[in-house]
């Protein structure tokens, strides 16, 4: 499937489906809570680190056209500015 033409909403939906259908059970435990997970919305590959930057770079090295989605493990909001969430995790 060609990821170049997906909307932001489609990338988020696909990544959340990967998360709910298998990734969540593997990563939501004490050591990972609060860390960032970056998911390739096309392949389901993911990486985890404190900021998401290293994982995102590694996934982009594998596939420069990857459509990545980032969320904080175990929390509803990954980043906030004022009172409005900028990135949301799986609901």
Q: Where are the domains of the chain?
A: 3-88
pTM comes to 0.78
Given a cut of 70, whether residue 48 has pLDDT beyond it is yes
Residue 18 CB neighbour total at 10 angstroms? 19
Specify the pLDDT at position 4. 57
Q: Which of 47-51, 60-64, 71-75 has the lowest mean pLDDT?
A: 71-75
CB 74 within 8 A of CB 33: yes
Question: In this structure, are residues 72 and 35 in contact, taking their beta carbons and an 8 Å threshold?
Answer: yes
pLDDT digits (tens, 9 = 90+) for 5-33: 888 889 999 999 999 999 999 999 889 99
Q: What is the pLDDT, as a whole number, of residue 5?
A: 80
Q: Whose CA is closest to 47, among 65, 55, 68, 21?
A: 55
DSSP state string for 27-53: H-STTTTT-EEEEETTT--EEEESSSH
């Amino acid at each position: 499937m060609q990821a170049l033409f997906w909307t932001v909403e489609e990338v988020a939906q696909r990544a959340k489906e990967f998360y709910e259908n298998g990734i969540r059970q593997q990563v939501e435990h004490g050591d990972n809570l609060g860390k960032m997970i970056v998911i390739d919305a096309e392949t389901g590959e993911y990486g985890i680190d404190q900021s998401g930057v290293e994982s995102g770079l590694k996934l982009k090295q594998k596939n420069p056209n990857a459509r990545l989605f980032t969320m904080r493990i175990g929390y509803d909001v990954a980043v906030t500015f004022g009172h409005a969430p900028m990135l949301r995790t799986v609901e």
